[in-house]
Chains A and B, each alone.
Chain A
């Protein structure tokens, strides 16, 4: 399969991402987005993870904006799993609702327009009571990606895409029980000073139930091409190309820079 051996190189290997000097190609990465990149959390990049034993006390933002998310309380820190999602690294919230989260505070100049990422839902506990991937200071219901209070759907007034396809009815299950690429529209103009990863703000038991491996936020509305590049990047990186629709431009080859 394309990229099999390249994806197996360590994240910081000098030819993992840019193989042009050795006969390969340069793979597209979110840093190609430049100033449009508002937030980039990446569990495979161990240099961006601060561990407290086996749990994560800080997950560094790689966008250049230093919107790092952290958690000082050990009991509220997600664990770090080196093979937690499709054999690759993930931050694990566990299967049952809890009060774990990572948070950035006093964030400025942050009004994201789109979110992307990779996660999976454990599935052994009900998809209810607002199971949350991320949230902000809630002004309107667009400020998070979370489940409805009951049932199998996301609650969000904007479209949610799973694996490059529109989840037109916002149905999440059962698809997200396997690792999935998500994206969601999010068009706010006001600054959001707080970012929570893996929880609906600090509300008890509104945590994510499963793993989160990558989260990307954009400060602009991307073109359809860039949206597909991000989806392709995530799918190839995390071994999820089989989930992309046949018509997706990066179904069989990864995006290159």
Chain B
């Protein structure tokens, strides 16, 4: 961490200006989790009991139960640290029935503007199978389950609702679920961005109240319309998991998905700010 900060400062001096970070999003910045900043991680042995929010808003993500604390992998994403949801039972969360991020609770409805970006590894496809929903490695979720009427999930969908492996797996942004009809997870979202197991990506989205701009590694992809229209299901917000499955027991997620950084804004980022954030994350987690 010290070396990184020193290098950033050196670059900033060389260029005569400060390097951009999410802090420069100002009041729009609602949540900023950064696994490379060891000062923000509270460890219980090698597992994470708390991940502090660097936005200044105190939206720390916690896990009090030792058995559910995700391990911190020191050299996960291009040699940098990340939290790993080895199983769907491992996560950190805002343990609130409906946490908000300033003016948004990540509902895909008019007036609820938001932007969510994460650096993650989608995992190996062994996440918890959720009947009618599928399997996924989850970067960030505020939902009752993948495919359900959950409000928000970003991650890598590896299997459809019938537990058939997607070839290839697909990076996805779920805003309203896919109606709970077995294969709809894949069928409705065939345009989601092709991915691969155990790969890293900068993945996220901007919701401006009426349309979604979803991107993987700076490339826009179609977040094809899903039929489910119940946008207001309330659920805790989690890293590596969803709060429950699609009406079943347990939680979706796991599969060794890894998360290095999460940024949430209570605004629809401009194209310029979205690209700055993508560039910042790409260079930090997959640059030189």
Contacts and interface: CB of A to CB of B under 8 A. Distances in A.
Interface of A: 1-10, 13-16, 19-25, 253-254, 256
B209 interface: no
B105 interface: no
B201 A13 contact: no
B230 to A, nearest CB: 35
Contacts of B236: none
A15 B11 contact: no
A1 B200 CA distance: 10
Nearest to B5: A23
Interface residues of B, number: 29
Contact of A10 (B19, B219, B284, B287): B219
A140 B287 CA distance: 44
A1 B199 CA distance: 11
18 contacts: A4-B78, A5-B217, A5-B281, A5-B286, A6-B288, A9-B218, A19-B282, A19-B283, A19-B287, A21-B276, A22-B19, A23-B11, A24-B11, A24-B282, A24-B288, A25-B11, A25-B283, A25-B287
Nearest to B8: A23
Contacts of A21: 15, 17, 19-20, 276, 279
A14 B283 CA distance: 12
Given A1-B78, A2-B288, A22 B276 contact: yes
Interface of B: 8, 11, 14-15, 17, 19-21, 78, 119, 200-202, 217-219, 275-276, 278-288
A15 B215 CA distance: 15
B288 to A, nearest CB: 5
A20 B200 contact: no
B275 A23 contact: no
Contacts of B219: 9-10
> Which 7 residue pairs of A and B lie closest in terms of their CB atoms, listed nearest first?
A5-B286, A15-B279, A24-B283, A8-B217, A23-B19, A19-B283, A22-B280
> Residue among B11, B275, B288 with the most chain A CB within 10 A?
B288
B278 A15 contact: yes
A97 B278 CA distance: 43
Given A1-B78, A16-B218, A16-B279, 8 more contacts: A2-B286, A3-B286, A5-B119, A6-B287, A6-B288, A13-B218, A15-B280, A24-B11
Nearest to A252: B288
B288 A9 contact: no
A8 B283 CA distance: 11
Contacts of B20: 21-23
A217 to B, nearest CB: 28
A127 to B, nearest CB: 33
Nearest to B285: A5
Interface core residue of A19, A21, A22, A256 (most chain B CB under 10 Å): A22
Contacts of A4: 78, 200, 286
B48 to A, nearest CB: 23
B11 A20 contact: yes
A9 B78 contact: no
Contacts of A254: 288
Contacts of A15: 275-276, 278-280, 282-283
